Structure formats: structure tokens, C-alpha cells
Amino acid sequence: MPDEICRNLYRIEVPLPDSPLKSLNSYVIKGKDRNLVIDTGFNRKTCLAAMQTGLSDLGIDLSRTDFFITHLHADHFGLVSRLATQTSQIFFSRPDAEIMESWEGFEPMIAYAGKHGFPENELRTAIEQHPGNKFGSDWVPAFHILADGDRIDVGDYGFECVATPGHTLGHTCLYEPGRRLLIAGDHILGDITPNIQCWSDTENPLRLYLDSLDKVRRLAVDLVLPGHRSLFSNCTQRIQELKEHHERRLDEVQKILDGSSLTAYAVASRMTWDIRGSWDEFPVAQKWFATGEAISHLRYLEEEGSIWRTGGVSDDGADRTKKDMVRFSA
């Protein structure tokens, strides 16, 4: 049976097989006329069975149910195409919707990762094992776009949308000011650090993420309902811990680069990770996530002027030799 968090607000714990995250927290708000489901799980049988069982236990009629998706990652979005009905609205952010609507596959990310040193023989394996590739939505549904400050009323709850870019460009939380509740998606997690990746030279997701943390810190929050793991009440303290984590990460990256000229992949291989074993023993999917996180910290430091690029890229932006790989120095 789903956990009742507050009156008519429930959590369905959706298993995420083969994921270090273990499970997803899907939140359900029951209303007299309409219900709301927040995040759904991967598009796979195990997740679908858990959601169907939980919704059935709550007596949820999907024909009277809408969906709010905090961000585009497959563990949050993937199952919505299997649950939504013709009468469902799917609330989503414009930035993440544009990414999904213009999606042309992983090739640009593969090329970008190769430019930053990710070995070519591992790239395709990384993508094959990427959950977004394996367990994404069957189709891209029509979205009801919500922006920062927009409101969703369901049952006794009035949620405000809080744009929190960083984990993704369009990540959005829901804040209930009357009850001081924050449905946080992957913006703030209680005992693990959200992964902040970068796969573009035009973005600075870590800067966006740190600014989003400051934005949420200004809210009065008594209880955080995260996308994974346990609920928690120490929102301000947790935000400070996350900011200090990234400060240590930035210091670590600068120390790794001191006197060296390295690719992002090489930097990632020397960073400290909560995975046992040497870098060579890491699963290739974890190397992918780690490299994306290393790039986000390198991009932040680069825009701050603390490090610089030393590798060459040809005038047309194409890498012609391994000598043209992007390298960073401090």
C-alpha cells in the first residue's frame, strides 16, 4: 500500500532495477474531480506493475488523472506514455520539452564525449547502457507547458512551480506554501548528491544548479519530498551541504589540473567517487556519468577564468586528430 504523507498525498515507491538509485518516489495527490501523479519511473514492466498496483490501491481513475513530470530523465518521465489517457494533461517545462521535441539521438553527445577524451571503444557501450536509451517513453505526448511561478491546484493543495535548472535545463519543483512542502524531484536529495552533467560548450549547468539551490533556500520548507530515497526536513542544511560538496569538487579539479594538461575524461578518472574499485573497474555507464559531471565542473571553472583550454579544435569545430582533443590546465 502506498505511504500516506499528508491527507490525500501519497508516495508510491517504484523499483528501478539495475540502478544505484534503487527506486523512484512517485507522488499522488487525490482530488475530488482530478488527481495528480508526479513522476512515473522507467518504461519497463517492473515499474509499470508497481505503479498500476499503487494506483489501484489508492482507487485512482486514470481518466481523471493528470501528470506532472519534474524533468526529462527516463526514471521520471519514461512511463508516462503508458499511464496517461486521452483526458490526461501532462505538465512539463518548456526547456525540457524543447529538448525532447528536437531530439535527434545521442550522436552529438557521443561526439562531444569523444572530444573530451572518452575512449571511442567505450562510447557506444555507454550509450547502449544509458537508461534514457533503454527505458525512455514510447512516444512524446502533448505537453501542457508550465513556467516558473505557475500554479497547479489539485484537491486541497495549491502548488507553485519553481524552476530549478541544473540537473536538467528545465528541472522544476513544486512548492506548497500553505503546508511548506517541496516536491523536489532530483534537485535536492537527502543522502546522495544529484548528478550535474554537462555535454555542451554553450551551457554551464553547475552555475545554474548552485543558483537554483540559493533560490530554493529562500523558501519556507518544513518537508522535502525528493525523487529518490527518504523524505527529509532539514532543507536549508541540506542545501548548504550540497553547495559545500561542489566547492570541494571544484577545489579537487583544480588540484588535479595543477601543472597538468588533461582531458575531462582523464580528470574524471582522478576524481573521488563513491564507487568501490579503481577507475578501470567502473561500469562504463558510471564512467559516462562521471565524465559528464567532470565537464560541468570544468565548464564552471573555465567561465570563472580559473582554468583554460590547452587542446586545439580546428576552426570548423571538428576534431581531426587525437591531438585536437580538448584539454584543460590550471
Asked whether residue 295 is assigned to any structural domain, the reply reads no
- Count the residues in the chain: 330
| Confidence band for 323, pLDDT divided at 50, 70 and 90 | low
Q: Which bin fits 149, alpha (ψ -120 to 50), beta or left (φ > 0)?
A: left
Asked whether residue 316 is assigned to any structural domain, the reply reads no
Do the Cβ atoms of 67 and 91 come closer than 8 Å?
Answer: yes
Range of weakest confidence among 42-56, 230-244, 281-295: 281-295
Cβ count near 317 (within 10 Å): 9
Q: Which residue has the cell 500554479?
A: 151
Can you give the residue range of the structural domain that contains 61? 3-244
pLDDT in tens, 266-301: 999 999 998 888 999 998 888 999 999 999 999 999
pLDDT in tens, 134-172: 888 877 889 999 999 999 999 999 999 999 999 999 999
The Cα–Cα gap between 328 and 330 comes to: 7
The Cα–Cα gap between 79 and 48 comes to: 7
Asked whether residue 278 is assigned to any structural domain, the reply reads no
**Residues of the chain above pLDDT 90, percent:** 80
| Confidence band for 313, pLDDT divided at 50, 70 and 90 | very low
Highest average pLDDT, of 61-75, 94-108, 306-320, comes from 61-75
Asked whether residue 99 is assigned to any structural domain, the reply reads yes
Q: Is 312 helix (H, G, I), strand (E, B) or coil?
A: coil
Identity of residue 120: E
Q: What CATH number is attached to the domain comprising 133?
A: 3.60.15.10
- Continuous segment of H or E residues that includes residue 279: none
Which pTM was predicted?
Answer: 0.94
The C-alpha torsion from 303 through 167 and 187 to 170, rounded to 10°, is 100
Asked whether residue 126 is assigned to any structural domain, the reply reads yes
Give the pLDDT mean for 211-231.
Answer: 98
Asked whether residue 297 is assigned to any structural domain, the reply reads no
- Continuous segment of H or E residues that includes residue 26: strand 23-29
- Continuous segment of H or E residues that includes residue 11: strand 9-15
Asked whether residue 260 is assigned to any structural domain, the reply reads no
Give the pLDDT mean for 15-33.
Answer: 95
Asked whether residue 124 is assigned to any structural domain, the reply reads yes
Beta-strand relationship, 181-185 and 172-176: antiparallel
Give the pLDDT mean for 57-73.
Answer: 98
φ and ψ at residue 224, rounded to 5 degrees? -105, 130
The count of domains in the chain is: 1
